[in-house]
Structure 1
Amino acid sequence: MKLSFNSVFSLFLVFSFQLTSCAQPQKSTENKQEPIQKEEPKTIKTGADRTTAYLPLLKNKNIAIVANQTSVLQVLQRAEVAPNIMGSKMVQHHLVDYLHNYEGINVQKVFAPEHGFRGKADAGEAIADGKDIKTGIPIISLYGKNKKPSPEQLNEIDVVVFDIQDVGARFYTYISTLHYVMEACAEANIPVILLDRPNPNGHYIDGPMLEPEHTSFVGMHPIPVVYGMTIGEYGRMINGEKWLANEAKCDLTVITLENYTHQSTYSLPIKPSPNLPNDVSINLYPSLCFFEGTNVSAGRGTDKQFQIYGSPYLEKTGFSFTPQPNEGAKHPKYKGELCFGEDLSTHNRLTNLDLSWLKKAYEQSPKKDFFNAFFTKLAGTKKLQEQIEQGLSEKEIKASWQQGLNDFKKVREEYLLYE
């Protein structure tokens, strides 16, 4: 087929236009950056929050609950958000109230640890048995002379539920209460369901190892001061290391956390005891609690408990405080006396045990009266006091812990439930 001159010329123009168009620079998308979408951190769910994991285990059972003011859970509840419109919101319930009102679960008694069921008693204060005003359920103290549930107290109990917020320090007595509850239940062939909670000091491991000759209720096991485990993981270690009397083994079920790692930051919604009022005090507690075994106040009787330290004997600095009786400290050290020291309430989050304040206070105080017998129980060894008295540096002292810490970390690995 022959093409006319006009047809050929038209094809030439079209072809030329296409070549010109192809040669035009195109807008590049290579360097175009999409906005970075930050992934919101997932909310940590406690063992208590995970009701579907443990309610079936309690159905038609007589149960006892080891609990205090921290034993709460979030429950999704329908609510009226506007006239004729229904929505839902998370509502906080105490575990005892929640289970008491749950059909088919019979809560027979509550066991309360140090500081009592409502968490208002002084450290070391004897707690009387009683009844919960709200539910009428009997409350049995596990502090004082009765630290371990008796066979009579466990009579006709099918399951024990343990739900208490720990803070990850060896001398905080809730892990000692866990030991005795597990031991009593092992002897009575009663299973324990432990509702796990985050460890706010779970991000590091540090301190001297407890020596067996210094075992007490503020230190029952050969672990460092800061052990980096949740209370659920710790319960597994108690079983696995055969620390219960006669190497008994408790039938233990841990209801695990969701969205938690040992490096997670976790702000406690309820203070775990009267003298740990906030995140700063909880973080400083492992380092400042050593002052409980000295003539220095750690702030009891103030509103900055375990965030300050001082005594009348320290150098007069720009900071001072005067302890007075308050909730959790009816008879504080140096009641009504002016104390000098340091305010640490704005200190950065610690990732290790800090001995600098203890050493500084020792150097400024009358030496013969600085330590008391409780210090060795807190340290779990006599060596720490001796090292401070000898003037060893913090680096030298910590070097003496390393072998024990390394050995502990290897044992700890076996019982971890989280990264």
Structure 2
Amino acid sequence: MTGPTGLSRRGLLAAGGGALAAAAAGAGPAAADAPPGRANGRAPGHQVRTGFDRLAADGYALLDGARVGVVTNPTGITAEARHIVDVMHADERVDLVAVFGPEHGFRGTAQAGGSEGRYDDPATGLPVYDTYLKSGQPLADVFTASGVDTVVFDIQDVGARFYTYIWTLYDCMAAAALAGKRFVVLDRPNPVTGRAALGPVLDRAYATFVGREPIAQAHGMTVAELARLFAGEFLTRPVALETVAVTGWRRAGFFDTTGLPWVPPSPNMPTPDTALVYSGTCLFEGTNLSEGRGTTRPFELLGAEGVDGRWAEAVNALGLPGVRFREAYFAPTFSKFQGRTVGGVQLMVHDREVFDPVRTGIALLVTARRSWSGFAWRADQWIDKLTGSARVRTMIDAGADVDEVTGAWEADLAAFRAVREEYLLYR
């Protein structure tokens, strides 16, 4: 695997957000990557104000005179759980003319790998354009056809490289640059904290829509920070980027400390607990085991026909910090093993402060392969797209243990962490 090519350190192309970004409480010189386990000392229920809430409180001054289009989905809500499109459409201070939907769609009705297509929103009458799997000039043409001059992005991310909304952000930024549109990112907290970047860094030879550029598997950043990183390191054409930071959030804060309402960002991301494990257990999409889709605990339940309690015993014996594994049996209602009873494990995180989702995901892969003779990678080698190279797969196939696999990416990860540091907004 090559190193994190493309991390040019050429600096920011956009200062990002003007007074709204600079005035953010908690913004400023960011702390170095902290290992999992460092508490933040903030009481549960502490109120965080999102980028949109701050934009609205400022009277939408940042959008004054602009023809606005919004890239969003059901997570684009206010602290009072009103959707930002409905709020802006009803406010005469905003000239909102279009909505752009990502994977799963603007209203969130499509399953993984799907979107809602082009339609007029029944609630507002606004035209909704489909961005899913569009990039480059075709996406720039969508922005041009919509008549907008400012594209606003507001979607809740979950902190994993292969969660596609951050690549919708990337593609929309690149398309906005091509089309000559201003781009505004309204920030939201990373729900699993922004303490540390974890896991392998993508090799560009394996770039897909689940990873366009060399960032870590668990990036430990917010969408505004990622936008700054994308602009400063990866985009080939400058974009007129502005960001609106959140206030009241610090890097060690989990979602339940924010006081914000949780809306599932996608159909199989029902709770913040799902997001906590997702950056590790989503790797099972690349195997013949179920990753828990079609259950009430996706990505927390893993299994296949023929798996028994030996898997739970094997992974529990590793003594992974912050998590235990229960022998589990379930019957998915859709996806792999639909309607069939499978055996496997349920992850039970008991100390999220020390839990490492990526290391845990690797440990589960290593033990699954050793304890179940039916283990196989997906024939299309999807695991390589998820991990960012062939290295994890080939090392596990060669009999490497957890420490060997996770140690192999440390140099690339250290290089990414150093570059990431330049773009962080919060302490």
TM-score by length of 2: 0.79
Q: CA deviation at 1:143?
A: 1.1
Picking from 340, 360, 365, the partner of 1:358 is 365
Q: Tell me: CA distance 1:123–1:239, structure 2 relative to 1, closer, same or farther (3 Å).
A: same
Q: Tell me: CA distance 1:396–1:146, structure 2 relative to 1, closer, same or farther (3 Å).
A: closer
Q: CA deviation at 1:397?
A: 1.2
CA distance in structure 2 between the aligned counterparts of 1:370 and 1:58, rounded to whole angstroms = 48
Q: Counterpart in 2 of 1:301? A: 294
CA distance in structure 1 between the aligned counterparts of 2:385 and 2:332, rounded to whole angstroms = 25
Q: Tell me: CA distance 1:118–1:414, structure 2 relative to 1, closer, same or farther (3 Å).
A: same
CA distance in structure 1 between the aligned counterparts of 2:232 and 2:134, rounded to whole angstroms = 27
Picking from 177, 196, 199, the partner of 1:207 is 199
Look up the equivalent residue of 1:228 and give its one-letter code: G
Long gaps (5+) in structure 1? 1-37, 75-90, 326-331
The alignment's C-alpha RMSD in Å is 2.0
CA contact under 8 A between 1:205 and 1:352: conserved in structure 2?
Answer: no
CA distance in structure 1 between the aligned counterparts of 2:374 and 2:329, rounded to whole angstroms = 21
Q: CA deviation at 1:146?
A: 6.5
CA contact under 8 A between 2:287 and 2:383: conserved in structure 1?
Answer: yes
Q: Counterpart in 2 of 1:135? A: 124
CA contact under 8 A between 2:262 and 2:271: conserved in structure 1?
Answer: no
> How much identity, in percent, do the aligned residues show?
35
Report SS of the residue matched to 1:207.
strand
Q: Counterpart in 1 of 2:416? A: 408
Q: Counterpart in 2 of 1:338? A: 341
CA distance in structure 2 between the aligned counterparts of 1:145 and 1:184, rounded to whole angstroms = 9
Q: Counterpart in 2 of 1:34? A: none
In the alignment, structure 1 residue 72 sits paired with structure 2 residue 64:
no
Give the stretch that moved more between structures: 351-360 or 221-230: 351-360
CA distance in structure 1 between the aligned counterparts of 2:375 and 2:296, rounded to whole angstroms = 30
Q: Tell me: CA distance 1:200–1:324, structure 2 relative to 1, closer, same or farther (3 Å).
A: same
CA contact under 8 A between 1:203 and 1:351: conserved in structure 2?
Answer: no
Q: Counterpart in 2 of 1:394? A: 402
Q: How does 1:147-226 map to 2 (within 5 A)?
A: 149-155=139-145, 156-201=147-192, 202-226=194-218
Look up the equivalent residue of 2:77 and give its one-letter code: V
Q: Tell me: CA distance 1:287–1:54, structure 2 relative to 1, closer, same or farther (3 Å).
A: farther
CA distance in structure 2 between the aligned counterparts of 1:131 and 1:146, rounded to whole angstroms = 22
> Structure 1, residues 104-134: CA drift from partner, whole Å, max 9, x if none?
3221110011111122311112432112111
Look up the equivalent residue of 2:266 and give its one-letter code: S
CA distance in structure 2 between the aligned counterparts of 1:206 and 1:104, rounded to whole angstroms = 42
Aligned residues: 357
Q: How does 1:191-340 map to 2 (within 5 A)?
A: 191-201=182-192, 202-241=194-233, 243-244=234-235, 247-267=236-256, 269-315=262-308, 318-325=327-334, 332-340=335-343
Q: CA deviation at 1:416?
A: 0.7
Look up the equivalent residue of 2:222 and give its one-letter code: T
Look up the equivalent residue of 2:302 and give its one-letter code: Y
TM-score by length of 1: 0.81
